[in-house]
């Protein structure tokens, strides 16, 4: 099928590449010329396991092209995916300016029947706004082309995006109950047929319910994390090991094991903004989502947990102290640092007078960009960040090691080397990577999250 993807970011590029891999003829459009140039020169603007190979293979086969030519992009696809960003607006609601700009582009250039697919995460009622925007462009051109707007939210996880897209556990599609909606449903059925060969994975529903489903999913996952983080802090006080509790409750099939890990808070481009946007939608309809207020508040506090533990150990004034930080990305296998806990930690440590040596396997370039922005008003603090060459290099003469992201490469370090390099054998572990008892045994002072009963700290 002929597909156009408007917005070639994480979701758009992965969607385009995977649909090309299945034999579709894909046109990836973006307004960012440098991103398109990178792709056309054989580069990949994001770090995502397996993506490079899929893009390279399909570009060589002529099944995927990258361009900023809006008119050509709109002319190309019978199905037009909108996969642009929906960042938070000042009031927390989803900023729809990019989605509506994409809709305007479609309306400005479309001729025959088009299926428009909202892949971006958008609040309930957005498909109606997209349809009205397209219609208004068509009317101003005096063109009577027809279209149907479909909601097909994306559930891929950064770091496993290609795998998630190729083997989805579910596909949610909301279509209008109308003759045009029926045509759209048939086209979507054909497009997604390869994913349903083994068993049916598609959940068909109305458009508004599909839009809502994405927010409900992310809000539920964020809630599980904040719930466990709050219990972990209590576990530290009452002398309980949160990891034992996690295993104990996760074995209940009604609860399950996923997303129950205590840590130093969730980040990324999705959970924080989607929780806020759902709260905002509720307020617009006169309802207060009390649980989600708490989820956000707990998470904001949890991002400060490592800084708090460090200050409790070394004192509020960290002047002259130096820390090694392992992990900067908001989670492993990505270079995405949007709303990452590492940013809160660095702000806290540097503001209290400390210096840091930081390391992340893939997010170093992004970290340089992000910290230059975070500390643009405080260049003297930026000077206290050393970008280390590798994890061991970061440790040199540090008062403690602080772990923020659970990269695999951090899981089994040579602890003798770690102890040799550090000034003091102290680890603050924001992701509970190590066994506290084993750490005590080898002479490491270990501070995990919700596990102090095992180290008697």
| Cβ-based nearer residue to ligand NAD, 32 or 390 | 32
CA distance 242 to 258: 15
Q: Among 3, 12, 76, 207, which residue sits at the site for ligand NAD (rule: CB under 6 A)?
A: 12
Q: What is the 8-class DSSP label of residue 88?
A: B
Cβ neighbours for 328, distance < 8 A, ≥ 6 positions apart: 337, 340, 342, 358, 359, 360, 363, 364, 366, 367, 404, 405
Cβ neighbours for 437, distance < 8 A, ≥ 6 positions apart: 454, 455
Q: What are phi and psi of 47, to 5 degrees?
A: -95, 115
| Cβ-based nearer residue to ligand NAD, 88 or 250 | 88
| Cβ-based nearer residue to ligand NAD, 85 or 307 | 85
CA 438, 442, 443, 449 torsion-angle sign:
negative
Q: Among 120, 202, 276, 452, which residue sits at the site for ligand NAD (rule: CB under 6 A)?
A: 120
- Could you confirm whether 270 is annotated as catalytic? yes
- 154 interacts with ligand NAD by CB under 6 A: yes
HSE, CB side, 13 Å, CA atoms: give it for residue 449.
29
CA separation, residue 15 to residues 47, 79, 230, 419 (Å): 15, 13, 36, 45
Site string for ligand NAD, 269-288 (x = CB under 6 A): xx------------------
| Cβ-based nearer residue to ligand NAD, 138 or 156 | 156
| Strands of 147-151's sheet in order across | 64-67, 25-29, 2-6, 79-82, 114-118, 147-151, 171-174, 202-205
- 399 interacts with ligand NAD by CB under 6 A: no
Q: Among 93, 121, 213, 223, which residue sits at the site for ligand NAD (rule: CB under 6 A)?
A: 121
Total Cβ atoms within 10 A of residue 424: 14
Q: Among 39, 55, 74, 83, which residue sits at the site for ligand NAD (rule: CB under 6 A)?
A: 83
- 86 interacts with ligand NAD by CB under 6 A: yes
Q: Among 36, 55, 65, 84, which residue sits at the site for ligand NAD (rule: CB under 6 A)?
A: 84
- 130 interacts with ligand NAD by CB under 6 A: no
CA 361 to chain centre: 17
With CB under 6 A as the contact rule, which of the stretches 4-12, 239-247, 301-309, 393-401 interacts with ligand NAD?
A: 4-12
Q: Among 8, 223, 229, 333, which residue sits at the site for ligand NAD (rule: CB under 6 A)?
A: 8
Active-site choice (18, 175, 264, 270): 270
What is the per-residue DSSP string for 392-410?
HHHHTT-SEEEE-S--GGG
Q: Among 21, 48, 158, 230, which residue sits at the site for ligand NAD (rule: CB under 6 A)?
A: 158
* Catalytic site positions: 270
Using CB under 6 A as the criterion, which residues of the chain lie in contact with ligand NAD when the complex forms? 6-12, 29-32, 35, 83-86, 98, 101-102, 120-121, 154, 156, 158, 269-270
């Amino acid at each position: 099928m002929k597909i156009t993807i408007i917005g070639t970011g994480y979701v758009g590029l992965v969607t385009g590449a995977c649909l090309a891999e299945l034999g579709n003829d894909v046109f990836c459009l973006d307004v960012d010329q440098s991103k398109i140039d990178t792709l056309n020169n054989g580069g990949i603007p994001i770090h995502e396991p397996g993506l490079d190979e899929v893009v390279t293979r399909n570009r060589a086969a002529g099944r995927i092209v990258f361009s900023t030519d809006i008119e050509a992009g709109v002319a190309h696809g019978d199905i037009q995916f909108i996969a642009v960003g929906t960042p938070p607006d000042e009031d927390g609601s989803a900023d729809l300016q990019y989605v509506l700009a994409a809709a305007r582009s479609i309306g400005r250039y479309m001729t025959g029947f088009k299926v428009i697919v909202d892949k971006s995460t958008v609040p309930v009622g957005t498909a109606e706004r997209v349809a009205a925007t397209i219609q208004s462009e068509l009317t101003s051109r005096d063109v009577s082309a027809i279209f149907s707007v479909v909601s097909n939210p994306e559930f891929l996880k950064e770091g496993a995006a290609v795998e998630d897209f190729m083997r989805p556990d579910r596909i949610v599609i909301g279509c209008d109950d109308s003759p045009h909606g029926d045509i759209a449903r048939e086209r979507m059925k054909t497009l997604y047929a390869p994913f349903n060969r083994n068993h049916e994975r598609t959940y068909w529903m109305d458009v508004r319910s599909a839009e809502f489903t994405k927010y409900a999913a992310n809000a539920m996952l964020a809630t599980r994390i904040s719930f466990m983080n709050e219990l972990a802090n209590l576990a530290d006080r009452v002398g309980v090991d949160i990891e034992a509790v996690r295993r104990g409750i996760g074995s209940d099939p009604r609860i399950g094991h996923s997303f129950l890990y205590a840590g130093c808070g969730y980040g990324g481009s999705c959970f924080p903004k989607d929780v806020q946007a759902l709260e905002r939608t509720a307020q617009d309809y006169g309802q207060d989502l009390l649980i989600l207020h708490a989820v956000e508040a707990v998470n904001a506090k949890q991002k400060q947990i490592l800084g708090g533990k460090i200050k409790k150990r070394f004192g509020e004034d960290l002047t002259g102290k130096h820390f090694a930080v392992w992990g900067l990305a908001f989670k492993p296998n990505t270079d995405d640092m949007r709303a990452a806990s590492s940013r809160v930690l660095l702000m806290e440590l540097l503001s209290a007078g400390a210096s840091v040596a930081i390391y992340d396997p893939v997010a170093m370039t992004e970290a340089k960009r992000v910290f230059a922005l975070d500390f643009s008003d405080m260049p003297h603090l930026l000077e206290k960040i050393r970008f280390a060459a590798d994890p061991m290099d970061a440790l040199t003469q540090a008062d403690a090691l602080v772990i923020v992201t659970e990269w695999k490469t951090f899981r089994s370090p040579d602890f003798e080397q770690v102890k040799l390099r550090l000034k003091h054998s102290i680890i603050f572990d924001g992701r509970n990577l190590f066994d506290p008892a084993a750490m005590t045994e080898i002479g490491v002072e270990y501070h995990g999250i919700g596990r102090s009963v095992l180290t008697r700290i």
